[in-house]
A and B are shown apart, each in its own frame.
Chain A
Amino acid sequence: MKPIYAIPLLLFVMVGLALMVGLTLRPSEIPSALIGRAVPEFSLPPLDPTAQELSSESLRDGKIKLLNVFASWCGPCRIEHPFLMELQRQSVTIHGLNYKDLEDDARRFLNELKSPYTLIGKDKDGRVGIDWGVSGVPETFVVDGQGRILYQHIGPLNRQAVEQQIAPLLKGRKK
């Protein structure tokens, strides 16, 4: 046995070890730069003219809540809608950020599907979305009573995200 013939084996073992460590990592979970920070300052006009406006002030109301970025033109928003309704039934406060949408379309969308939202802010040109680091619709944030972002979920909500990520946060700080 000449040592030179063992080189491929050595290289493989190194790669294999890296793959082993790699298995324990989660590349699809991109850490949000905003987690742990205070929400960006904003104030948005309500979708329903008689309702309250949605602002950074209204997020500092001492209670934990979700902020869901949605739009009538977004297909996956319809997919995650049942999860939002389910959370609402468990009396979780959910605010909606209506992202780059037309008022009439947004109203029709909510009439058709039922609204899970307490407050809805119109982010017509997407400015506030940019401050929140929104990269696509839908996205969901968990915000605590002091207005700090605890968690950001990119893409439509699913069973796993709701049960393993969002529910423990809600439970932990409900009171």
Chain B
Amino acid sequence: MIAEVGHFALFLALAMAFIGAVFPSIGLARRDGFLSHLAGPAVLAQFVFVLIAFLALLYGYVVSDFSILAVANNSHTMKPMIYKVSGVWGNHEGSLLLWALVLTGFSSAVALFAHNLPHSFKARVLSVQSGIAFGFLAFTLFTSNPFARLDPAPLEGSGLNPLLQDPGLAFHPPVLYVGYVGFSIAFSFAIAALIEGRITAAWARWVRPWTLVAWIFLTSGIALGSWWAYYELGWGGWWFWDPVENASFMPWLAGTALVHSVIVVEKREALKAWTVLLAILTFSLSLLGTFLVRSGVLTSVHAFAVDPARGVFILAFLFIVVGGSLTLFAIRGGSLKPGGFFAPISREGALIFNNLFLVTALATVFFGTLYPLFIDAIFGEKLSVGPPYYNLTFVPLMVPVVAAMAIGPLMPWKRADLEGILGRLKFMALIALAAAFGIWAYVGDGSLFALLGLLMGLWLAGGVLFDIAQKARMGKMKASGSLHRLASQPRSQWGMWLAHFGVAVAIFGITASEAWTSERLAIMTLGSSQEVAGYEFTLDKVWPVAGPNYSAVRARFQVSKNGEPVASLEPEQRIYNSPTRQTTEAGIRTLALGDLYAVIGDASPAGGWSVRLYFKPLVAWLWGGAFLMMLGGLMSLSDRRLRIVVARKKALAPSSVAAE
């Protein structure tokens, strides 16, 4: 019964989406105030109905109602409650419902909180949002009904993929979706601007906070996903350039470019058409990601149960949304006139440089991801593109981006003196170079790639610190005065410093862990020891453990260095009983200089266990860096200029009047 309520609520949401997409547009065309005012209530109603549907499905999972097909296929009574809940979105049908919930949630946030938007503009934004919601709800209802019944109901469900039964992965999809779907707002703003044929600095101020929110969530979703891969998949890697990873990374690259180009629109009223295009591109890539994961056109470890009928639907949807918006862009893009003059050597010039390289890097990832498909489509050959391709294309493109990241923020708007800035950075560059060589020679045994990585990280970190010192006039006035100057810097300035510094930290983590990981594969008997990077791993104990829905073999390694105990690691090998599947839980301890990482494998017939032991220097810095980037985003979001509540109070600032 509850499932039918959910199913029915979903149909009502679909109807509301239709009303919200069509009526406001008619209202605006006919200057009918009643119809155009329907936009807000329609998205709120969508949200309420999708929420009811979502709660109904959640209820089905919580009480293990196996007469619902999706529950029977993905849940199990023995599963811990947290995974019953996360099981809701751990499969195709439920994840679509979550997607729709987040989407209508975002639309409702715009309807409720964006009071400073001109009425017609807001109505257009909301009607575009409703249109997207209509597509997703129709997709859910007609190809992937989460409430489909199963008769007779089985006594027991078949369980959730054990790899997904993990706290990190329970929250990875929702966070990622908030990121993906959040970019729909930037998209809708871009479409509304194209229809109205005008973009102003105020437009950029409206778009920026929504884009930042989406970017922060996407960053954290990707970081969570890679962290999960690191400790759960048990071979110590954290990024595999898998099509599905790329599917989330491509919108991130486009979104990063967008976050930067919006600033140029705000400050200089330039780069308007480009920014609109980026907004369309970012959301289109989010949709493409959905298509790639669910249609089965690419093979991936992540793929959902694939179904070509769904693929056809999403592709048609992709053609309407992306094709439609790009057609609109082709017609109207030319009318977005830039204001003011433009000099290449300037802050805006540096941001364009950043955008060009980010988008080129995006193109290489896009090409690498879809190349196997293109080759298969044209020549009928099967092949796969692996990390060597990305190391050759993506990594070199990041070098100029990072190099410019240290210089760009030092440039003023309009016109900058590059020679002067480079002159001032000379000293810092020398220190970075000397330090990079020093570390590289001291650690030893590193590749040229490692040296480059160290240099880039130090250069960027140094550039950020140099910028901070300059803004504080450090050394040119009393320390208290400098501190005061720092404290009075706008939050968006601090956000930029934090985020850029986070990139430097992440570069250190990537470089050190890629270049200097020590690894040992061995068969160990109880009491025997293995040495990895100066750490002595002793296999202390191995014993069976019973979990709620798995049985496991757990091992304990005592790790010591120079006779001093350092840590005790307890990796597990689990056999889940429904569905039967073996998973590894790595034993990890993060030390100041790196991670100790141990995996226990099968028992060897000759006695003993096969084990894998690693020392991964600085690998935790990677996620530390990602955390700093998110923090930077949050800091920037809290800046007065962008705060939605404040903006509401000053709704009639001159720039927003100009957009009326």
Interface residues of A (CB under 8 A from B): 1-2, 5-6, 8-9, 12-13, 15-16, 18-23, 25-28, 30-31, 73, 75-76, 78-79, 102
Contact = CB atoms under 8 A, between A and B. Distances in A.
10 contacts: A5-B330, A5-B333, A16-B318, A18-B377, A19-B297, A23-B312, A27-B373, A28-B296, A28-B299, A75-B575
A89 to B, nearest CB: 22
Contacts of A27: 296-299, 372-373, 376, 382
B549 to A, nearest CB: 14
Contacts of B277: 8
A22 B330 contact: no
Contacts of A9: 323, 326-327, 329-330
Contact of A22 (B281, B334, B377, B575): B377
B330 A1 contact: yes
**B interface: dominant SS:** helix
B580 A79 contact: yes
Nearest to A14: B374
B315 interface: yes
A76 B580 CA distance: 7
A23 B326 contact: no
Contact of A75 (B299, B311, B377, B580): B580
Contacts of B168: none
B468 interface: no
Nearest to B298: A27
A158 B346 CA distance: 62
B163 to A, nearest CB: 13
B322 interface: yes
B295 A23 contact: yes
Report, nearest first, the 9 A-B pairs whose CB atoms are least far apart.
Answer: A5-B333, A6-B330, A21-B377, A9-B326, A75-B580, A22-B297, A2-B334, A22-B373, A27-B299
Nearest to B322: A12
B373 A18 contact: yes
Contacts of B582: 75
A20 B298 contact: no
Given A13-B323, A27-B373, A102-B605, 11 more contacts: A5-B330, A6-B330, A8-B280, A8-B330, A12-B322, A16-B315, A19-B291, A21-B377, A22-B377, A28-B299, A75-B581
A26 B311 CA distance: 12
A70 B330 CA distance: 58
Interface residues of B, number: 40
Contacts of B580: 75-76, 78-79
A76 B575 CA distance: 12
A1 B331 CA distance: 5
A73 B323 CA distance: 51
A73 B610 CA distance: 15
A51 B69 CA distance: 45
Interface of B: 273, 277, 280-281, 284, 291, 295-299, 308, 311-312, 315, 318-319, 322-323, 326-327, 329-331, 333-334, 370, 372-374, 376-377, 382, 575, 579-582, 602, 605
A15 B323 contact: no
Residue of B277, B280, B374, B575 most packed against chain A (CB within 10 A): B374
A162 B277 CA distance: 48
Residue of A1, A15, A19, A20 contacting most chain B CB atoms (<10 Å): A19
Contacts of A79: 579-580
A20 B334 contact: no
Contacts of A19: 291, 297, 315, 318, 373
Contacts of A5: 273, 329-331, 333-334
Contact of B323 (A16, A18, A23, A75): A16
A7 B526 CA distance: 65
Contacts of B575: 75
Contacts of B296: 26-28
Contacts of A1: 330-331, 334
Contacts of A78: 580
Contacts of B280: 8
A76 B581 CA distance: 8
B308 A23 contact: yes
Given A21-B377, A23-B308, A15 B333 contact: no
B376 A25 contact: yes
Nearest to A13: B323
Contacts of B318: 16, 19
Contact of A23 (B299, B311, B382): B311
A137 B65 CA distance: 34
Nearest to B277: A8
Contacts of A2: 333-334
Given A9-B327, A78-B580, A18 B333 contact: no
Contacts of A76: 580
Contacts of A28: 296, 299
Nearest to A73: B602
Contact of B315 (A8, A20, A26, A75): A20
A21 B298 CA distance: 12
Q: Residue among A1, A22, A26, A28 with the most chain B CB within 10 A?
A: A22
A18 B333 CA distance: 26
Contacts of A13: 323
Contacts of B329: 5, 8-9
A98 to B, nearest CB: 15
A12 B273 CA distance: 17
Nearest to A30: B382
Nearest to B315: A19
A1 B580 CA distance: 60
A158 to B, nearest CB: 11
Nearest to A9: B326
B377 A12 contact: no
Contacts of B323: 9, 12-13, 16
Contacts of B308: 23
Nearest to B328: A9
A23 B330 contact: no
Contacts of A12: 284, 322-323, 326
Contacts of A15: 370
Nearest to B284: A12
Contacts of B299: 27-28
Contact of B370 (A18, A30, A75): A18
A21 B372 CA distance: 12
Contacts of B581: 75
Contacts of B334: 1-2, 5
Contacts of B374: 18
Nearest to B331: A1
Nearest to B326: A9
B98 to A, nearest CB: 24
A30 to B, nearest CB: 7
Contacts of B298: 22, 27
Contacts of B297: 19, 22-23, 25, 27
A2 B299 CA distance: 39
A26 B323 CA distance: 25
B370 A23 contact: no
A100 to B, nearest CB: 10
Nearest to B273: A5
Contacts of B326: 8-9, 12
Contacts of B605: 102
Contacts of A30: 382
A2 B281 CA distance: 20
A16 B319 contact: yes
B374 to A, nearest CB: 5
Contacts of B331: 1, 5
